[in-house]
Structure 1
């Protein structure tokens, strides 16, 4: 993938002049790869107009800027949308039909010029049917106490190229807004405030060149008494678009005169609130501790009062940088990151009642920290060395850091991950259920506790399998082994072949075809011994029907020359050691 260089953000850390000159010289011949489209792939045709666009992640690239247009490098559909570290984007109002779409991906960096990649393209399919109705409208259906200055918004309807909106005070009314084409937008701000304490009916009808959606139902909400909404605010510190922001900054925004509070959300992409979600503040500043370095953050602030919250407030961004990279290395032509690379696993299993559950770091670094997370996400430091003793299940954080000296300052470049600790123990076999099928055995093993176990048959050293079932095994005695995968122990059970499980057919078919016409005890294949002396057969009322002895064909299903009907019948067998075996079987015709 080719690329072009964008010098609009030449943020370079303090460095000697000769290094900067060399750095820019190497930029022109950098081997930095641009991402390929994953879906739709470059050159794809007949792409749905509501497709999600995704691309390969590029190692060391902290963010992406996306433009969409109908010409190479164009942005007439979407102009330079910063999506943070996300590797996918769904256009809110879809894409035009039967159109060649060009997507331009810009690699965003904190400490070097952005890289503008060559455009890739795909072609959308033609529309074939009218759109469906929108699935959600805001304010929500049957909502009440809605501010009279509310904005009206709705979800995109796939394949819609525009929307008609009608507003009235009755189910089919239009006295507030006669059916109006608002084009391909997903919101409408009434030109005048809505009447107070009134039921307001909203009808949204998506359309495209084929026609309009049908049977779209109205949504109704009730307005509140007259009140004045606050206006939007803006960031003071960091200011919108600021870079090189410290990791623990004080966020400050402009006060709004009639606001009683502010609802603040922060995320690592325009579509997330994974840092701070709808937190309410009654002041105009707050201290944030330990932002992640080298990331773009998206912040939304909505002032509110008793009338509601401000409408149409825009999202702002800022980026952190503390010197840990990624840097462009002119010698290798690659991006250099000073944070340790982590290989520590996502899960750790410790053995119950084992005093030697010592966990050791798997990575090279100058220092380490281990934290225990409680149910509320609070962290407790449990070790500051490369080893930690753990004896409780739960979530933990593993952190490895290198100490960096640069420009007369010392700082840490840290990498961390959350991992799960599980407690396991030596398995205890509760039962081995045995079933016979076609002179073969099936085992199902259950344990007293659930664990991460594996199973072997007749060999302690394996092979082991994850399934607790063994099928089609020989009619003989066996030993089953259950082993904890974390090495917490192994247990075994000898399963003796029970005579009651072998030799007595489950059914027979006395229909004269010469196959399975008699019911008789069948000696086990592995022994060939007939250790049954006599068998008595009964009906369901306990009446004796027949007596069967060895070395005969068995019972024919007749009594006194009369064929008995299909049913279940019972038997009592007496073994040569006087052991009594009871069971039942089916007669089928």
Structure 2
């Protein structure tokens, strides 16, 4: 049985019992008793080929129970199965929880303190009220939903101020009544950490290599940094809220996407919390284009290196190529699939240097020269 676990206490009577599936099972039986091996609560009930079961009338209250789940198929029942024991709660009404940190009456409590309480297994969530200076004072939070965990970080408290905190459990049918607040007084304000600033790449930089690493100057008093990197403002598609520790260089596991605006948020933190309102920095990566341009060709009609044509290994395709002589005269205009045979108006051109202009489909232009040899 996976829920409740063996030896667990304070189990709500409406708990759904759960167990791990058996690959060979066609069904399961469930037995529950108030002593080891007994079946006075549920006697070898066939529950079907499922992995959970809830008693219609609930479990007995305030009892130590012993449960056994047996898998079966056409060949019989599983043997030597372990019995699970647990203890149920003995109350109907949802009770109040106990706040354990900070302790009531504490002084010099951190202005960035978390509030922690003991879990109530009947509760499906908690409401928090934070009052300033008196129980009926200004409500920083007023029955604010704080989820079903056991701690919550309210907005930073004011320094040297008395606060009253109430945590109220609730579930689908009721809310705890009459929960008593704790009180404490805060200490000094915490001076916030400055934000980190990238120095490699710099904010706004263009044509950044896709293999770049991030570097920044260390922030004084920081214990570490959290990093988000994405392809949209506030995004985290590349690095998702990663605690990278106390370093000032980050190396990506893979190259960044090419020709892409990259957004970086870097937040220093220490025991008092993290920097606030840190700006998002960004840079644009290079576009990786690899065009193969022959450095020379020998159009001698010998079947070897008789043609000249640039090709693209990586990047946008070629739309057209222009070939000029050394004086700038246009000799040939090629489409992506055409080549030059070294002639102009069917007249072979002499051995010399020739210039090219390659226009890519994305508007990029590449220029250079090559040799014709005869």
TM bucket, shorter chain: 0.3 to 0.5
RCO (CA 8 Å, sep 6+): is it higher in 1 or 2? 2
Q: Give the TM-score of the pair, scaled to structure 1.
A: 0.22
TM-score scaled to structure 2, two decimals? 0.33
